[in-house]
């Protein structure tokens, strides 16, 4: 079944982790193990690369750029959460990630989706059974995870002209536009409120993932455009401030938004301790389904759940469901969901129709 994943950090892996994503995840693992790389826990454990997306019929994604501005007094590194010492540096680093996407386009590996016409053309290509998936480019909508690299309003316009169609104002910790996960419970900054107004004028997608509770409700009150939570699970199922409360999920549903189920082990198991073995804890792919079930119960239908796996979000198999080898295993959810009573219409909603409904609202301008 054609699938969409609404949150993948491909450029971060390519640029910051120096991974050639035109190779398969298994080949990248092999190369990293041969090189005895130990700088990160996910070395030799990666699950996402372009061939694996094709193998899993994941022909369309939201692909991110991540580039943060540092919290004063903390060291700067290109791949940590501390970031750069100025917005200008953050913007320049973001442009290096955008350049990687452009090269992937030149090579025929990816194609950027900016308009509804481009979306329809891409969907037609992927629906053609005479063309092998291996010969099809991965379509992507461009998103910022954390808005720090937007130097000012003129730079938002630049980003939009370059194809940016979604923004998550926050990431982890404090940010220039909004507080994020593991920060205090402050919300949008004054600049963040201005940013949302500019985004609305461009009919962009607002990604509420990583916003604090206060920031979330501020954003929902202020923003009248399309809202999503690209990689977000349920606090009622797994407690923790990273997950959304029922009130947040209800607000998202009322706006016809969609939450993308994430597959990071710490979002699937209560009080997960980093470094724990997912297999020992019994964390399998089915652990995501209670989150889907819960949102369906709140909504009364399956129109507000989908995939936003975050599988390459600086973790790998060591922090993923134990029955997942690569991202191609998203296809296992066909049987897992069917066994739980989800019918064909529900599967189509989860695999692609829900995200397509959202994308068309922003791409049809």
Backbone angles phi, psi at 41, to 5 degrees: -65, -25
In contact, 350 and 342? CB cutoff 8 Å: yes
Q: Tell me the CA distances in angstroms from 285 to 40, 356, 364, one per residue in order.
A: 24, 23, 34
> Which whole number is the average pLDDT over 72-88?
71
Q: How does the average pLDDT of the chain come out, rounded? A: 95
Question: Residue 311's pLDDT is what?
Answer: 98
What would the two tokens of residue 170 be? 């926050």
What range does the domain containing 233 cover?
3-363
From CA 187, how far away is CA 196, in angstroms rounded? 13
From CA 133, how far away is CA 135, in angstroms rounded? 5
Question: Residue 75's pLDDT is what?
Answer: 57
Question: Residue 76's pLDDT is what?
Answer: 56
**Any idea how long the chain is?**
365
Question: Residue 72's pLDDT is what?
Answer: 73
User: Which candidate, 278, 263, 267, places its Cα nearest to that of 242?
Assistant: 267
User: Which candidate, 365, 363, 300, places its Cα nearest to that of 123?
Assistant: 363
pTM: 0.97
From CA 258, how far away is CA 252, in angstroms rounded? 7
3-state secondary structure the chain: CCEEEEEECHHHHHHHCCCCCCCCHHHHHHHHHHCCCCCCCCCCCCCCCHHHHHHCCEEEEEEEECCCECCCCCCCCCCCCCCECCHHHHHHHHHHHHHHHHHHHHCCCEEECCCHHHHHHHHHHHCCCCCCHHHCCEEEEEEEECCCCCCCHHHHHHHHHCCEEEEECCCECCCCCECCECCCCCCECHHHHHHHHHHHHCCCEEECCCCCHHHHHHHHHHCCCCEEECCCCECCCCCCCCCECHHHHHHHHHCCCCEEECCCHHHCCCCCCCCCCHHHHCCCHHHHHHHHHHHHHHHCCCCCEEECCCCCCCCCHHHCCCCCCCHHHHHHHHHHHHHCCCCHHHHHHHHHHHHHHHHHHHHCC
User: Which candidate, 98, 96, 100, 99, places its Cα nearest to that of 84?
Assistant: 96
Q: What is the pLDDT of residues 47-71, one digit of tens each?
A: 999 999 999 999 999 999 999 998 7
Specify the number of domains making up the chain. 1
Query: For residue 80, what pLDDT band results from cuts at 50, 70 and 90?
Result: low
**In the chain, what percentage of residues exceed pLDDT 90?**
93
From CA 291, how far away is CA 224, in angstroms rounded? 26
From CA 318, how far away is CA 281, in angstroms rounded? 12
Q: What is the pLDDT of residues 188-207, one digit of tens each?
A: 999 999 999 999 999 999 99
CATH number at residue 256: 3.20.20.140
Q: What is the pLDDT of residues 35-53, one digit of tens each?
A: 999 999 999 999 999 999 9
Least confident segment among 74-88, 123-137, 288-302:
74-88
> Which whole number is the average pLDDT over 226-246?
97
User: Which candidate, 309, 303, 308, places its Cα nearest to that of 342?
Assistant: 303
């Amino acid at each position: 079944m054609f699938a969409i994943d609404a949150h993948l950090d491909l450029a971060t892996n390519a640029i910051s982790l120096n991974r050639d994503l035109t190779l398969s995840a298994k080949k990248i693992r092999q190369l990293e193990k041969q090189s005895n790389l130990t700088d990160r826990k996910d070395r030799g454990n990666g699950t996402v690369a372009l061939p694996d997306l094709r193998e899993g019929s994941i022909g369309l994604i939201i692909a991110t750029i991540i580039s943060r501005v540092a919290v004063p007094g903390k060291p700067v590194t290109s791949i940590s959460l501390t970031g750069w010492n100025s917005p200008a540096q953050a913007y320049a680093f973001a442009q290096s990630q955008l350049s990687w996407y452009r090269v992937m386009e030149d090579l025929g590996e990816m194609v950027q989706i900016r308009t509804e016409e481009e979306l329809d053309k891409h969907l037609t290509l992927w629906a053609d059974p005479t063309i092998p998936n291996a010969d099809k480019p991965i379509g992507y909508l461009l998103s910022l995870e954390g808005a720090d690299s937007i130097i000012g309003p003129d730079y938002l316009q630049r980003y939009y002209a370059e194809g940016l169609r979604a923004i998550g104002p926050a990431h982890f910790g404090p940010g220039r536009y909004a507080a994020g996960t593991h920060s205090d419970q402050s919300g949008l900054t004054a600049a963040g409120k201005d940013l949302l107004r500019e985004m609305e004028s461009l009919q962009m997608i607002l990604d509420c993932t990583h916003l604090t509770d206060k920031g979330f409700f501020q954003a929902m009150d202020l923003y009248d455009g399309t809202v999503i939570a690209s990689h977000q699970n349920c606090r009622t199922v797994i407690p923790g401030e990273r997950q959304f409360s029922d009130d947040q999920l209800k607000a998202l549903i009322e706006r016809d938004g969609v939450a993308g189920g994430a597959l990071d082990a710490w979002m699937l198991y209560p009080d997960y301790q980093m470094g724990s073995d997912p297999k020992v804890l019994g964390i399998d792919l089915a652990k995501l389904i209670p989150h889907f079930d819960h949102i369906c119960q709140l909504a009364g239908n399956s129109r507000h759940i989908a995939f936003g796996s975050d599988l390459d979000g600086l973790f790998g198999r060591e922090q993923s469901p134990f029955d997942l080898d690569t991202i191609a295993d998203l296809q296992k959810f066909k049987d897992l969901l069917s066994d739980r009573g989800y019918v064909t219409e529900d599967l189509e909603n989860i695999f692609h129709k829900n995200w397509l409904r959202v994308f068309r609202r922003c791409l049809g301008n």
